[in-house]
Amino acid sequence: MLDVTYDAPKPKVIAGATRDWELVIGLEVHAQVATAAKLFSGASTQFGAEPNSNVAFVDAGMPGMLPVINEGCVAQAVRTGLGLKAEINLWSAFDRKNYFYPDLPQGYQISQLYHPIVGEGEVLVEMGNGTARLVRIERIHLEQDAGKSIHDMDPAMSFVDLNRTGVALMEIVSRPDIRGPEEAAAYVGKLRQIMRYLGTCDGNMQNGNLRADVNVSVCRPGDYEKYQATQDFSHLGTRCEIKNMNSMRFIQMAIDYEARRQIAILEDGGAVVQETRLYDPDKNETRSMRSKEEAHDYRYFPDPDLLPLEIEQAWVDDIAASLPELPDAKKSRFIADFGLSDYDASVLTAEVSNAAYFEKVAEGRDGKLAANWVINELFGRLKKEDHGIEESPVTPEQLGQIVGLITKGDISGKIAKDLFEIVYTEGGDPEEIVESRGMTQVTDTGAIEAAVDAVIAGNPAQVEKAKANPKLAGWFVGQVMKATGGKANPAAVNELVTKKLGL
């Protein structure tokens, strides 16, 4: 459970010519299920395969072929639902959504309109500065993806690649609880993070494995609160849906553009028409794609080829028992156990592999110091070479040793940076390196005292100045550190300099 408390962030307000407007946003996120095979066939889901090589007869819509449900996809949807603290429906059913599309040879998409496998859940979306929005999930249903039409390979022809046809998608539908462009991106980011922790979707937006339909409307200040109190949608403005967004940046730009477009219409005395729109990133505008279609336009009906999907509570309980520690819980624990700031804990838990690395470094050591070293030194260094944590040449055991050496006072922070660089580029055991290269910090007061005396004796003019202005003592500390090759204990040097100068 979350031990941190947050305030709700303010909604985004756009000033119109006559009054202020607030944004209301609801997202339908399509997440490709991470499984080896498709939702209703044994064909592979491997990305980047030769076109039309991952196609079973059922995916190609061959007559007489029957879909067979993939238990792995169902388990992943349940797992995702549990990760979003959602209600799991033990009874769900598949419907046909009829439409013609060249890359959907069946002539219909199998989806779950009336009885989705997952019901209501929630996601905490942190916005920084101690604020977070709780976004309600309305439902998650399982459905088939379509294939891909390729229009740019030949001037006269279009090609169809059915590799993606029939791959399982989870459609995660939010309530209209998102109140600004940044929140929308943060919400998608949080879903992505949770699903990557769960291993249910790889979250690769570039490949289209995670994409969102973004519903946007605007209302007057106070209207959203009326909706919240009554759940009556008539308090909200008419929405438009922007289809198929697979970039966090474009999601934000499209929302901003769309809200301003709607405000201009409303302030002009017009009415927003509910419709589906497309975002054009080159022009930064949304364009009408088609008028809003209703469920009856698709002549949805229960798929007669598939029995209702019945799962057992014991099976759901087994999946629940196998869930990993999720981002919110991990973050709270890092704050509580290691004394980390909210920000550092967020950075370290963004990816589960980063969190695991950090924990190994911090175990039995100073957590804050470990966090500094992982975030500033290690991540900074890896980023320079565009490497992920998996490619780190420094193991958590090695970095842990470096942190331990600093805490014990064996090496100074400055020497530790040199040591880190040696371990990063050459490898080796940090303790042995410190030993063999004589990098140990000098804590022996006799040796430090001699260095302090030498600096004072060699700089009489500076001594006079420092006596008049004690702030100049820092100069002596710097000289002594230089003379000892950075190996003197700075605290001991400081103390001795102050004493010897009589400050």
- Residues near ligand ADP (CB under 6 A) are 24-28, 173-176, 215-217, 233, 236-237, 239
| DSSP state letter for 379 | I
Cβ closest to ligand ADP, residue 184 vs residue 439:
184
Q: How far is the CB of 215 from ligand ADP (least distance, A)?
A: 3
DSSP secondary structure, 213-246, as one string: EEEEEEE-TTHHHHHHHH--GGGSPPPEEEEEE-
CA distances from 462 to 334, 450, 456, 493 (A): 47, 18, 8, 17
Token duo for residue 257: 């553009």
Q: How far is the CB of 27 from ligand ADP (least distance, A)?
A: 6
Cβ closest to ligand ADP, residue 240 vs residue 345:
240
Q: How far is the CB of 272 from ligand ADP (least distance, A)?
A: 10
Q: Is the dihedral of CA 216, 218, 222, 227 positive or negative?
A: negative
Cβ closest to ligand ADP, residue 137 vs residue 309:
137
Cβ closest to ligand ADP, residue 89 vs residue 479:
89
Q: How far is the CB of 279 from ligand ADP (least distance, A)?
A: 16
Q: How far is the CB of 177 from ligand ADP (least distance, A)?
A: 8
CA separation for the pair 328, 332 (Å, rounded): 6
Strands (E), 94-209: 95-98, 108-111, 121-128, 131-144, 148-150, 159-161, 168-174
Cβ closest to ligand ADP, residue 27 vs residue 56:
27
Residue nearest to ligand ADP (CB): 26
Q: How far is the CB of 257 from ligand ADP (least distance, A)?
A: 15
Cβ closest to ligand ADP, residue 242 vs residue 326:
242
Cβ closest to ligand ADP, residue 275 vs residue 351:
275
**Cβ proximity of 117 and 309 under 8 Å:** yes
CA separation for the pair 466, 475 (Å, rounded): 9
CA separation for the pair 84, 325 (Å, rounded): 13
Token duo for residue 269: 């005395």
**Cβ proximity of 256 and 278 under 8 Å:** no
Q: How far is the CB of 412 from ligand ADP (least distance, A)?
A: 55
Phi, psi of 98 (to 5 degrees): -85, 125
Return the C-alpha torsion angle 308, 314, 316, 322, nearest 10. -150
Cβ closest to ligand ADP, residue 111 vs residue 412:
111
Q: How far is the CB of 323 from ligand ADP (least distance, A)?
A: 25
